[in-house]
Structure 1
């Protein structure tokens, strides 16, 4: 019941917000942070194994309401010209000093690109709840008690190769390691507004330019980020796309018609009716001769493709290992 009330409170906060008559793109990101912070979340409302019994679940409540806020505020509201407005970048801020996190939040509130942020007081707290695709950008302090930021980033890169990462630090001694971990940028403390603005613009450009699969569903064109796509499956005259959030997209079409869009990307067709994203393959099940996918799905490998499927997966793993240094 309290969770339902929390959702209602977000709606009320938005409707009653003193700047509600302003163009939505002028509302500052602090509004969203304040809306979530003003909600009351029962302990464990967000059912994630990283939340310990009795621990305050409010920081994780953001993850529950994030899609609701995007849907209600950004995705369904257009400006006077009828143009869809920019979705906010989803940020994770990890620093063991509350005052440093607050400084970053203040800079983000003044930035020209909208953001929504979740705070973490140490690396362990972040790793407990981190999931592939939850964030667009991670602002990570390096020197923290317990696990360092660099150590945490190594673990995060094993889960998510796409997320943009920036170190916030007083030292640049980790330059070589940052390169190996594909860290986008250093933000030297005290962090400047210009550096934050430049970083957000860079992340936004990367987000807009990520490879996408263009499809037509119910007469409407959709552009699906390939990093969100696990598998394409042909069933009779329909195509079924399995997404990494567990959802599926179904529409009329032929798999062969979409394959040219996947050229040069880490996709492989182990069977005439399937094409998989190798980034989400956990291994090859020799007993059943199939790819074991990250979502638990087993994708069959046809007999003629067994050797090619094995080689494609091994080549992908080798290339990824080499890229990560």
Structure 2
């Protein structure tokens, strides 16, 4: 699990990180070993390093330098509609604006003064964060590599007739049989087999056309004729429950 904390004040940045770690150690110690926190001093710095699937959660200060937290959140939402964003601020002035970007929480600093609300919000979103942390273990160059579900854009068969995982950042080839991979991925409702030997992560879909899915990066994934009806039903269900 990777969490981003963004604040232009170093003292507030460290305080937020400390509060988060203390809370998780006390309530969910099993997460600590899998947790990685990345800190950023501006919205611009976060956006330079942002990719869909990179962060499980973003804690974002509102009042910052040239780019505010709200502006940063709006830019994030243009790329990723799902990553939870929690605002950190010294005022409740922008509370309603936070809902425009579907904020998961809104905390007045310092967090130490809002421990109960912080705990309620985290207990509400944590099950979804944990679900996003599912992964698949695949053999790559003689070693098993764990690939988070959230990083998989789609899966298909390459020119050498072996399995290829197209990830958010790169592609990975593996000797894992397609049937084994599909059995694991298709248990998760974000994945859909839209064509023969193609499994798509619907988190990356921008829209569904008659013959194909259009991904957020402009890529196109075909829909086979015999899977068209089921693909539409599955995608509509996904949209209704996301």
Q: TM-score range by the shorter chain?
A: 0.5 to 0.7
Listed one character per residue, the Cα deviations across residues 49-76 of structure 1 (whole Å, up to 9, x for unaligned) are xxxxxxxxxxxxxxxxxxxxxxxxxxxx
Q: 1:91 maps to which residue?
A: 4
Residue 20 of structure 2 is aligned to residue 108 of structure 1: no
Deviations 1:100-134 (A, max 9, x none): 343322553684566331210xx566546533234
**Equivalent pair of 1:246/1:295 in contact (CA under 8 Å):** no
Structure 2 unaligned blocks of 5 or more: 23-31
Over 3 Å counting, the alpha-carbon distance change for 1:217 and 1:295 in structure 2 is: farther
Q: How does 1:178-193 map to 2 (within 5 A)?
A: 178=98, 181-192=101-112
Judge conservation of contact 1:230–1:277 (CA < 8 Å) in 2. Answer: yes
Larger radius of gyration: 1
Q: Which residue of 2 aligns with 1:156?
A: 76
Q: Matches of 1:216 and 1:90 in 2, distance apart?
A: 25
What is the alpha-carbon root mean square deviation over aligned residues? 4.2
More contact order relative to length (CA 8 Å, sep ≥ 6): 2
Q: Which range moved further: 224-233 or 175-184?
A: 175-184
Report the alpha carbon displacement of residue 296 of structure 1 after superposing the two structures with TM. 5.5
Residues 113-262 of structure 1 mapped to structure 2, 5 A cutoff: 115-120=37-42, 123=43, 126-127=46-47, 130-143=50-63, 148-172=68-92, 178=98, 181-192=101-112, 195=115, 207-217=129-139, 222-234=145-157, 238-255=162-179, 258-259=182-183, 261-262=185-186
Q: Relative to total residues, which structure has the larger strand share, 1 or 2?
A: 2
CA distance in 1 between partners of 2:18 and 2:225 (Å):
56
Q: Which of 175, 187, 202 is matched with 1:278 structurally?
A: 202
Distance in 2 between residues matched to 1:124 and 1:224, nearest whole Å: 28
Normalization by structure 2: what TM-score?
Answer: 0.67
Separation in 1, partners of 2:73, 2:188: 27
Return the TM-score normalized by structure 1.
Answer: 0.53
Cα 1:190–1:295 shift into 2, 3 Å: closer
- Equivalents in 1 of 2:55, 2:136: separation in Å? 23
Stretch of structure 1 that moved more, 164-173 or 209-218: 209-218
Take 1:157 and 1:134, find their aligned partners in 2: how far apart are those partners?
14
Say yes or no: does 1:268 pair with 2:222: no
